Amino acid sequence: MLCGVFSLHQRGYLHLDIKPDNFIVDSNGKIRLTDYGLSQKKKEIISLHDITEGDVSYLSPEVFYQENLNKKEEKSDVFSLGLSILEILFKIELPKNGKLWREMREENFDISSMFNSINNEKQKEYIDLIEKMVCGYKKRKTIDEIFND
């Protein structure tokens, strides 16, 4: 999933609709990113102001609340990717609204607070990765930074 988004960003595009439904496993067992209907070339985006068509469960706070919208950043895709990974790995259903939905978009939300305990080291590694993606805009890593970490 990370590689698909990384590749898209390297080519100069934003997906703008990252969610589990837009990933498939091909006949060779490889995960593929699909559904480029909302994708836009970064150089052609004037503002993300009108880009609120994606699934509300995965929208980044800056797109939903229309903050930092004049920036041509990949961080909105990274936020959505982090939530997608969280949902898939931990088999949880993300809220479409409500208190938890809002909390997940707050600057200091702690992903690990969603779990009573983290059972093993691998789960902790996943949480550490997701925390770099699902956080406030200023703290959120780009996909390049995630790969360099």
Task: Indicate which residues carry an active-site annotation.
Answer: 17
Backbone phi, then psi, for 9, in 5-degree steps?
A: -65, -35
Distance, in Å, from the CA atom of 71 to the CA atom of 131, rounded to the nearest integer, reads 22
Structure tokens at 97: 């609204």
Q: Taking a C-beta distance cutoff of 8 angstroms, is the pair 62, 69 a contact? A: yes
Cβ-in-10-Å burial (0-12, 13-18, 19+) of 142 comes to middle
Q: Taking a C-beta distance cutoff of 8 angstroms, is the pair 146, 133 a contact? A: yes
Q: Tell me the three state secondary structure of residue 72.
A: coil
